[in-house]
Chains A and B, each alone.
Chain A
């Protein structure tokens, strides 16, 4: 895809396990921040796409009272009830149709508002799985981790290595919840066991926060900024329910990546992608993502990690921001990967900036055990 839609502004609120602000104010701060970052006023927006979830917000029609704080008053507004990365996709479709030029995308969630079990348990098949109380977000992730370890011989220590890499990276990201510059594999292995083999530091920290991104058509993007971040490709796919598919690989992520690479003209991801922001709710998912994204061969995720290639100074740094293990506001977590990837392309990431980024990959997921995945390829001029 040649320079049709660009990211021209973005903002993230700081993340925290308890942010003392309402959902509306978090969204307003993200919206106003993105407008400031793009240097435009609310009047310039044509459309607003929000990403929230009714069950997490504890409100039916969770977008209806976000119209004013998201800047959507008298705008063409809609809501994607998935990760915010999908809201970027929808906003992009709206722009490509030619009926809209400038779009605001906002994802937000507050883990301190909803009961802990909500995201996992309410997504389960209600007939067979929900009433049996065996599965939740973490226990499902644990089954996936075990299946992956069994299939490819990955060890708990190797998986802990992802936490060490990402949470050390997060020390350079002022917005992150977990900033741990001296974390070691032993520290991860000593952290509280949630569901074997997932320990506390292998799992995302439920967070409050909001993230916003402003997209524009090529014509508008060049008026708004000298430094647009172009969307070169996008791909997304829906996998089977977690009990109906092999859990040891991320099939829909591979499909999503293949589609995004085809659109962006990428034949060798490891060579052509300069930095990746992966939405890993659990450490093992990043190893699985390496394989699905084609950064390494099947079953070679641990070897890639141990080679150091995905470290901050490696050949293909993954999650310089710390990823979703460092801060995870549901509905904003994948969107934040896009904002972070855009920061990297623009060279605005400050102390977690990777040098010489031309092409960045951002990934978002929705559902249990990464059932639905979306991949974006971003780049500068």
Chain B
């Protein structure tokens, strides 16, 4: 057997494809996605502390389980942002970005949580925290998360 002066790297494969995770979100998302199809953004309100989670979250930090559906606005505010530089991922592969994409953290009016969207109709130089934005709905929403992928200045 060949002797090596180095230790061999150990293939640390978890085979994550063999895991079968469970999440209550699957049960909740049907309702949320149906709302998107009607151009409505729905949140789930916690009975304990009143926080509104968008998208819905099945448990709250106060140990209660949010259960009441409420509609929130499709307008909101930018809370943070970034735009792509020379380092970027396209899918799961590292790649060069040909176009600059502005990713914004948004808080919709009536929601208590942060969502991420792509800002269109604005330059990197103009985007700022506190900027008002509105969801740019597709003409025919499909009832999928990508229906709320794009926002534009309100």
Bound complex: CA A249 to CA B58 (Å)? 46
Contacts of A119 in B (CB 8 A): none
- Interface size of A as a range: 20 to 34
Partner of B58, one of A22, A31, A110, A122: A22
Q: Chain A 229-271 against B: per-residue CB contact (8 Å), 1 yes, 0 no?
A: 0000000000000000000000000000000000000000000
A20 engages B22 (CB within 8 Å): yes
A28 engages B19 (CB within 8 Å): no
Interface of A is mostly: loop
A25 engages B59 (CB within 8 Å): yes
**Is B24 located at the chain interface by the 8 A CB criterion?**
yes
- Kindly provide the distance from the CB of A56 to the nearest chain B CB, expressed in whole angstroms: 9
**Is B140 located at the chain interface by the 8 A CB criterion?**
no
Q: Chain A 68-88 against B: per-residue CB contact (8 Å), 1 yes, 0 no?
A: 110101000000000000000
Bound complex: CA A23 to CA B19 (Å)? 13
Q: Chain A 3-41 against B: per-residue CB contact (8 Å), 1 yes, 0 no?
A: 000000000000000001111110010011001000000
| Given known contacts A25-B24, A127-B10, A68 and B61 CB-to-CB distance under 8 angstroms | yes
**Is B1 located at the chain interface by the 8 A CB criterion?**
no
Contacts of A67 in B (CB 8 A): 61
Contacts of B18 in A (CB 8 A): 114-115
A23 engages B22 (CB within 8 Å): yes
Contacts of A25 in B (CB 8 A): 24, 58-59
**Is A308 located at the chain interface by the 8 A CB criterion?**
no
Bound complex: CA A31 to CA B63 (Å)? 8
Partner of B63, one of A21, A42, A115, A122: A42
Partner of B65, one of A20, A28, A115: A28
- Kindly provide the distance from the CB of A280 to the nearest chain B CB, expressed in whole angstroms: 27
A113 engages B65 (CB within 8 Å): no
**Is A98 located at the chain interface by the 8 A CB criterion?**
no
User: 8 Å CB contacts to B: which residues of A92-138?
Assistant: 110, 112-115, 118, 122, 126-127
B19 engages A58 (CB within 8 Å): yes
A21 engages B16 (CB within 8 Å): no
Partner of A73, one of B12, B21, B23, B61: B61
Contacts of B20 in A (CB 8 A): 112-113
Contacts of A122 in B (CB 8 A): 14
A58 engages B22 (CB within 8 Å): no
A21 engages B22 (CB within 8 Å): yes
Contacts of A115 in B (CB 8 A): 15, 18-19
Contacts of A58 in B (CB 8 A): 14, 16, 19, 21
A55 engages B23 (CB within 8 Å): no
Bound complex: CA A261 to CA B8 (Å)? 45
**Is B62 located at the chain interface by the 8 A CB criterion?**
yes
Partner of A28, one of B14, B22, B59: B59
A55 engages B14 (CB within 8 Å): yes
Bound complex: CA A25 to CA B28 (Å)? 14
Bound complex: CA A114 to CA B14 (Å)? 10
Name A208's closest neighbour in chain B (CB-CB).
Answer: B22
- Kindly provide the distance from the CB of A172 to the nearest chain B CB, expressed in whole angstroms: 30
Q: Which of A23, A24, A55, A73: most chain B CB closer than 10 A?
A: A24
Contacts of B10 in A (CB 8 A): 126-127
Bound complex: CA A55 to CA B18 (Å)? 12
Partner of A113, one of B8, B15, B19, B63: B19
Partner of A114, one of B19, B24, B60, B65: B19
Which 9 interchain pairs have the tightest Cβ spacing?
A: A58-B19, A73-B61, A115-B18, A68-B61, A22-B22, A126-B10, A22-B23, A69-B59, A28-B59
Q: List 20 A-B contacts (CB under 8 A).
A: A22-B22, A22-B24, A22-B58, A24-B59, A25-B24, A32-B63, A35-B63, A42-B62, A58-B16, A69-B59, A69-B63, A73-B61, A112-B22, A113-B19, A113-B20, A114-B18, A115-B19, A126-B10, A126-B12, A127-B10
Residue numbers of B with Cβ under 8 A of A are: 8, 10, 12, 14-16, 18-24, 58-63, 65
Residue numbers of A with Cβ under 8 A of B are: 20-25, 28, 31-32, 35, 42, 55, 58, 67-69, 71, 73, 110, 112-115, 118, 122, 126-127
List 17 additional A-B contacts (Cβ < 8 Å) besides A58-B14, A122-B14.
Answer: A20-B22, A22-B23, A24-B24, A25-B24, A31-B63, A32-B63, A42-B62, A58-B16, A58-B21, A68-B61, A68-B63, A69-B59, A73-B61, A113-B19, A126-B10, A126-B12, A127-B8
